[in-house]
A and B are shown apart, each in its own frame.
Chain A
Amino acid sequence: MKNCLFIPAVCLLSVSLYGQEAAQPVTGYSGMELNYAQSLWFHTSNAAGIAVTPLRNYNILSAQYATVAGGYKLQQEGDRNRNMNFNTNGALLLGKFFLWGDFTFSDSHVTGATYNTNRYEPTSGMPYYVADPNKSDWKKQYYDMTLKAALPIWKERLVLGAKVHYTTKRAAKQLDPRATVHGYGILIKPSVVAKITHRHHAGASLWYQNTFDRNTFINSLTYHSEKIYIMKGLGNYSPGVVGGSGGIGVFYYPGNQYGGGLQYGVTGNNKALLLDITCATEKIEVFETPAKPQRRGTANNTTIAANLQLIRNGNHTHKITANAGQSATDGVEYVQEYDSRYEVNQWITIAEYVKSTYKRLWASLQYDLFMGNRYDYAWKAGIKTLYSNRQDEYLAPRSVFNAQNSYTELSAAKNLAIGASAKILFGLQLGYNLNLGGEYAYSGAEATSVLVTDFYPKDLSYLTSHYGKIGGSVNASFLTKSQSSINLHLAGQWLKPAGSPSDRFYLTAEVAYIF
């Protein structure tokens, strides 16, 4: 019901956009892409900044079918995923208020996923979850709603803004041991931008995010207990079962994140530079059985990231984007004993220790050239390179999982006008991942478990392979009237690792109405 409340708001926003900037409507994917590329502040953590580099007004309503298939994947991903996504979003200058809103509904069916019993997003990095080796299907749904708003500029100096983001999700594993997943997340991110001089702006943002996941376990064969692994990281686990008298209880994951960002922007003649530095700390605790909480672990994460954008507009638009960051997670485990005294009957925490650490480092550099005019392009060319380094360690007994990669991609797109009321956008991407090393070493008590002999080695193989990627897309836009278009979009990608028979296909088909 909550979700339904937001939909009219987004639709209202979308409808009211129409005609706000009639002189330069966004009428296709290429125009949309350039619109976003030029709005530097939109890509920062500062919503107030959309008043400095506003998006041109637009609305889009789209339905998308996406399918992924192939064996080149992480074990917790499906052999095949099929998604139906419905999205509407739009930007609006409403009087002196700058608004942007987005609503997405996604329904997906995952086939053949392993080593995940209870996580909606098993590859998110949370070390404390439940796993089983049974290859299972999943059904998933999520709703995602975002609103960014910037107030009118106050005394030509200050802009206040805020971003609100709400997600809700649910999922169900389709084979014993089963689990149902329900979760939500809400983010509130107030921000401010100050105009220092005509060319210089400084901004700051703060945010708080609250998340909650609740997982309930069940077997369809009620007399049979299914073995599970209560994961602690890198192949270490506590044994457990779903079903029977000793079956695992409800898992829940309350999380709180606090963050902040500082921005500095400089604009010149057709040039602009914007730096955004953010820092966030997040704590997600994992408990079992709400009525008698037993701690299953805590993930304490600190992420620091920097984003630099440079843009030059003219006959052509040049844009350089650089990102760098580090995410460090401490996995905390607890020594607990059950106090069975009648008046207590609770788990008591005796001690807590950091038993594992998970570090991610990344840096990327991207250059895009848009050849055309300020509002749409005829040609586009781009190059990006991404370095990533994963360093996971279980402190005692010591185990490690490392993977280091460098990925480079070239892209190009050509926009062809077909008469006065249609155009076709062709896109091509070529990428190559160069693995720079990686290892998995386990020295715990269960060296023969499938986690150690199957799960982690296969994930290591995936994360430490050289692979090539080729992708293509075609988008046909048909102008229905001067300020709206119907778009048909088809895109595909193929990933092929070196020295492996497996591969991975991605196919997306979408119909969108931009108005």
Chain B
Amino acid sequence: MKKTFIIFACAAFLAACDKTDSVKEITVSLQITTPAGVTTVPESYHVEFINYNDNSKVEKTAGADGKVAASILPGIYTISVSAEVLAQGFSVIYSGSLVNENIVTDGASYTIEVAVAKSGTLVFKEIYYAGCKTLSGTSYFRDQFFEIYNNSESVVYADGLCIGSLYTNLASANQPTWDKENAADYVFYQWLWQLPGNGTTYPVQPGESIIISQYATNHQAADLNPNSPVNLLSSEFEAYIANSTQHTDMSAINMELKYRASSYQAQQFWLSTVFGPALAIFFPADDTDLTELTTQVGSTAQGVAIPISLILDAVETVDNETKVQLKRIPVVLDAGATFVGATYVSKSVARKIKETKDGRNVYQDTNNSTNDFEVKDTPEIRRNGAGKPSWNTWGN
């Protein structure tokens, strides 16, 4: 009896010892810095501490000194910093982030050096990746398109522009490690296409768009999918793979396929995942080698490494709100993510209009697609009156 009591008491004691602390708010401080050589400093920064697990967001404003403190609950946070300065007729974007930072220590301090860049010249304006359903209820994804817009006040030549989707195919916490020095300074393409041209062949005027389609045809035709939301015959470019038995070579100009990962070698069309690809565009520098491949550690998968500094615009599209924190694109390029929320739902994401200047729409570009994009129930090319390049003589 005595022994029983002792065992009972010991068990109760052990149970009492297994005590976890109750949660309490902690205070953290943030110092925002600008790169060496940057002389213009914003008067204030907008700072967000976002905990995606709790759906909570604490917003703060930092002054020109870049200092700010916040009281938050311990957790995994994305700290996002943004500011915009108008200078000499164009916007200068200051942006930076810390992503998936575990903040559990009271009094901890963090530093974010913001990147400083002019607002993009060519930007993704609308992305239709989710696909749609056919009349019989099967899935249809051949009508994907990417609209790229000249958001600047100057003509831009699209010649040589590269577009593609980055690793990983799906947004995931499980990101690969690349066998490359300073790998964090690069993005890695699994599909890479390049527009042709001699440098002045394809001018895109301010306010004009170019449409890049997976398959530049009228998808609403009876033999394809009358349920499709788009007719893409007027696309400027398409991702035609030579000798494809899946697509017919249409009037749109064919892009050059520069790279596709080995897992897509047998695929006769460019399917960007309907769950949401990570997309980026860039103009190669003179010394950029689009054929040089980098291998993943512990895998045979390879990708084309492109320096982050070359990227003109990048947009992280993900499955839904649960994947927003699973970043594939570096936060300096896109601090957020956008999504239509489901597959084959005939929806697209489109960039929001920031302002209209002399009849030309200027689209919001804060390098944070969570804020810059919105969902459209029906995809539409050249929405809001975007112009069509004069050299597109086949699209009426």
Contacts and interface: CB of A to CB of B under 8 A. Distances in A.
Scoring B4, B177, B323 by chain A CB atoms within 10 A of each residue's CB, the highest score goes to: B4
B76 A337 contact: yes
Interface stretch (A59-67, A233-241, A380-388, A478-486): A233-241
Contacts of A281: 11-12, 15
A244 B22 contact: no
A181 B264 CA distance: 38
Interface in B1-32: 1, 4-5, 7-8, 11-12, 15, 18, 20-25
Given A300-B18, A330-B20, A194 B170 contact: no
Contacts of B170: 245-246
Interface stretch (A26-34, A315-323, A345-353, A422-430): A345-353
A211 to B, nearest CB: 17
B73 interface: yes
Interface string B52-68: 11111100000000000
Scoring A281, A283, A300, A335 by chain B CB atoms within 10 A of each residue's CB, the highest score goes to: A335
Interface string B158-180: 00000000000011011111000
A122 to B, nearest CB: 22
B56 A224 contact: no
Contact of A335 (B25, B74, B173, B323): B74
26 contacts: A204-B1, A206-B4, A224-B345, A237-B55, A238-B53, A238-B55, A239-B320, A241-B320, A244-B319, A246-B322, A260-B7, A279-B8, A279-B12, A281-B15, A300-B18, A300-B20, A330-B20, A333-B23, A335-B76, A335-B104, A337-B100, A338-B174, A343-B298, A350-B76, A353-B23, A395-B23
A332 B20 contact: yes
Contact of A236 (B11, B54, B342): B54
B343 interface: yes
Contacts of A345: 174
A398 B320 CA distance: 28
A260 B11 contact: yes
B342 A244 contact: yes
A9 B18 CA distance: 40
Contacts of B175: 340
B contact residues, range:
35 or more
A450 to B, nearest CB: 14
A338 B20 CA distance: 22
A223 B139 contact: yes
A338 B171 CA distance: 13
A342 B298 contact: yes
B341 interface: yes
B2 to A, nearest CB: 10
B75 interface: yes
Interface in A347-364: 350-355
A340 B53 CA distance: 18
Scoring A224, A281, A341, A351 by chain B CB atoms within 10 A of each residue's CB, the highest score goes to: A351
Given A204-B1, A258-B15, 11 more contacts: A192-B1, A204-B8, A223-B343, A244-B342, A246-B323, A246-B326, A262-B5, A279-B12, A300-B18, A302-B15, A340-B174
A236 B1 CA distance: 46
B8 A260 contact: yes
Contacts of A445: 54-57
Given A239-B322, A246-B319, A355-B23, A340 B177 contact: yes
Interface of A: 192, 194, 202, 204, 206, 223-225, 227, 236-241, 244-246, 258, 260, 262, 279, 281, 283, 300, 302, 330, 332-333, 335-338, 340-343, 345, 350-355, 395-397, 444-446
Contacts of B55: 237-239, 444-446
B321 to A, nearest CB: 5
Main secondary structure of the interface of A (DSSP, over half): strand
A352 B20 contact: yes
B297 A202 contact: no
A131 to B, nearest CB: 15
A345 B326 CA distance: 14
B177 A206 contact: no
Scoring A206, A244, A330, A332 by chain B CB atoms within 10 A of each residue's CB, the highest score goes to: A244
Nearest to B58: A445
Contacts of A342: 176-177, 297-298
Given A240-B322, A241-B320, A345-B174, A353 B22 contact: yes
A199 B177 CA distance: 75
Nearest to B345: A224
A239 B102 CA distance: 19
B344 interface: yes
B24 A336 contact: no
A232 to B, nearest CB: 8
B184 to A, nearest CB: 13
Contacts of B171: 245-246
A225 B177 contact: no
Given A335-B102, A446-B55, A258 B23 contact: no
B275 interface: yes
Contact of A350 (B21, B25, B102, B297): B102
Contacts of B344: 223
Given A338-B174, A350-B102, A445-B55, A239 B5 contact: no
A445 B73 CA distance: 12
Contacts of A224: 342-343, 345
Contacts of A355: 22-23
A356 to B, nearest CB: 9
